[in-house]
Structure 1
Amino acid sequence: MTPLSSSPSADREPVTTPDGRWTPRLVLLLVALAWPTQLLAAGGILGANATAGVAQAFHTTQVVWFGLTLTLVSTLLTPFAIKLGDLYGKRRVMLAMTALGAVGEMIAALAGSFWLVLAGRAIAGFYGPFGALSFAAVRDTFPPRLVKQASGIMGSSVGLVALVSPFLAGRLIGTWGYRGALWFLAAATAVACALIAALVPETPRHAFESGFDWLGGLTLGGGLTAVVYAVGQGQSWGWGDPRTAGWLAAGVVALGAFLLVERSSPHPILDLRVLRRRPVALALTAGGLAQTVAFTMPGLAILLALYPHIPGVSAGLGWSADHNAVVSVSWNLVMFGTGLLVSRYMRRFDARRIWCAGLAVMAVGYALVGFHHGDELQLILTSCVANLGAGVVVAGAPTLVVGVVSDGEQGLGSGMMNMLISLFGAFVTAGAYALLATDSTVVDGTAFYLDTGYSWVFWMGSLVTVVALALSLFLPPLRDPAEDGAQTERAAQPA
Structure 2
Amino acid sequence: MHQPAGNASRQQYTLLMVSIALAMFMTSLDGTIVNIALPTISTIFDLPSTTVSWVATAYLLVLTGSILVFGKVADRIGFKTVFLAGFAVFTAGSFFCGFFPEVFDSFGMLIASRVLQAIGGAMIAAIAPALVAAFLPMKMKGKAMGVVTTFAAFGTAAGPILGGILTQYLSWNWIFYINVPVGAAAILLGSYAIPAGVTASGTPSPFDRLGAVLIFAGLGSLIYAVSQGSALGWTDPTILAALAAAVIALGYLVLHERRTADPLLDFRLFSNRNFLYVNLMLALAYFLMGGVNYLLPFFLELVKGFDPSTSGLVLTALSFAMMASGFLSGMLINRVGNRRLCIAGALVISAGYLMFRFFSAESTIYYISGALAAVGFGLGLMLSPGTNMVMNMAPRDRQGMVSSLISVERTGPITLGISFISMIFVQAMLTVASHRHVTTSSPAEIRIDVLATGFDLVFVAVFAVSLAVVALAFLSRDEVHADNREEETFEAAAAGA
Q: TM-score, normalised by structure 1?
A: 0.86
Structure 1 regions of 5+ residues with no counterpart? 1-14, 308-313, 489-495
Change (3 A) 1:120 1:483: closer
Residues 159-308 of structure 1 correspond to what in structure 2 (within 5 A)? Answer: 159-206=153-200, 209-305=204-300, 307=301
The match for 1:23 is 10
The match for 2:473 is 472
The match for 2:55 is 66
The match for 1:124 is 117
Change (3 A) 1:181 1:467: same
Change (3 A) 1:21 1:405: farther
The match for 1:348 is 335
2:136 paired residue among 142, 145, 169: 142
Deviations 1:219-266 (Å, cap 9, x if unpaired)?
122111111111111112222222222111111111122233324434
Does residue 76 (structure 1) correspond to residue 65 (structure 2)? The answer is yes
The match for 2:436 is none
Change (3 A) 1:16 1:298: farther
Does residue 153 (structure 1) correspond to residue 163 (structure 2)? The answer is no
Aligned residue identity for 1:114: F
- Partners of 2:69 and 2:92 lie apart in 1 by 20
Aligned residue identity for 1:276: S
- Residue pair 1:173, 1:180 contacting (<8 A) in 2 also: yes
Q: Which has the higher contact order (CA 8 A, sep 6+)?
A: 2
- Partners of 1:295 and 1:20 lie apart in 2 by 41
- Partners of 1:205 and 1:300 lie apart in 2 by 44
The match for 1:452 is 453
- Partners of 1:408 and 1:266 lie apart in 2 by 13
Aligned residue identity for 1:320: P
> What's the CA shift for 1:393?
2.3
- Residue pair 1:291, 1:394 contacting (<8 A) in 2 also: no
- Partners of 2:338 and 2:303 lie apart in 1 by 40
- Residue pair 2:24, 2:125 contacting (<8 A) in 1 also: yes
Residues 334-345 of structure 1 correspond to what in structure 2 (within 5 A)? Answer: 334-345=321-332
- Partners of 1:28 and 1:131 lie apart in 2 by 18
Q: TM-score, normalised by structure 2?
A: 0.85
Deviations 1:32-74 (Å, cap 9, x if unpaired)?
1110122111111101211221112112221221101001011
The match for 1:492 is none
Deviations 1:353-405 (Å, cap 9, x if unpaired)?
22012111101102212423644222112212222212112322211212322
- Partners of 2:187 and 2:91 lie apart in 1 by 9
The match for 2:29 is 42
* 422-431 or 134-143, which deviates more: 422-431
The match for 2:434 is none
* Secondary structure of 2:196 counterpart: coil
* 103-112 or 287-296, which deviates more: 287-296
- Residue pair 2:292, 2:421 contacting (<8 A) in 1 also: no
> What's the CA shift for 1:334?
2.3
- Partners of 1:48 and 1:211 lie apart in 2 by 40
Aligned residues: 467
The match for 1:491 is none
Deviations 1:306-343 (Å, cap 9, x if unpaired)?
x4xxxxxx32533233x345444544332212111111
Aligned residue identity for 1:199: A
* 78-87 or 287-296, which deviates more: 287-296
* Secondary structure of 2:475 counterpart: coil
- Partners of 2:442 and 2:112 lie apart in 1 by 33
- Residue pair 2:275, 2:390 contacting (<8 A) in 1 also: yes
1:383 paired residue among 372, 377, 383: 372
Aligned residue identity for 1:25: Q
Give the superposed CA RMSD. 3.1
- Partners of 2:483 and 2:459 lie apart in 1 by 38
* 427-436 or 193-202, which deviates more: 193-202
Change (3 A) 1:16 1:220: farther
- Residue pair 2:90, 2:120 contacting (<8 A) in 1 also: yes
Change (3 A) 1:325 1:411: same
Deviations 1:190-219 (Å, cap 9, x if unpaired)?
333333223222233257515211111111
Change (3 A) 1:407 1:376: same
1:103 paired residue among 85, 92, 99: 92
Change (3 A) 1:144 1:353: closer
- Partners of 1:394 and 1:294 lie apart in 2 by 12
Aligned residue identity for 2:70: A
Does residue 427 (structure 1) correspond to residue 421 (structure 2)? The answer is no
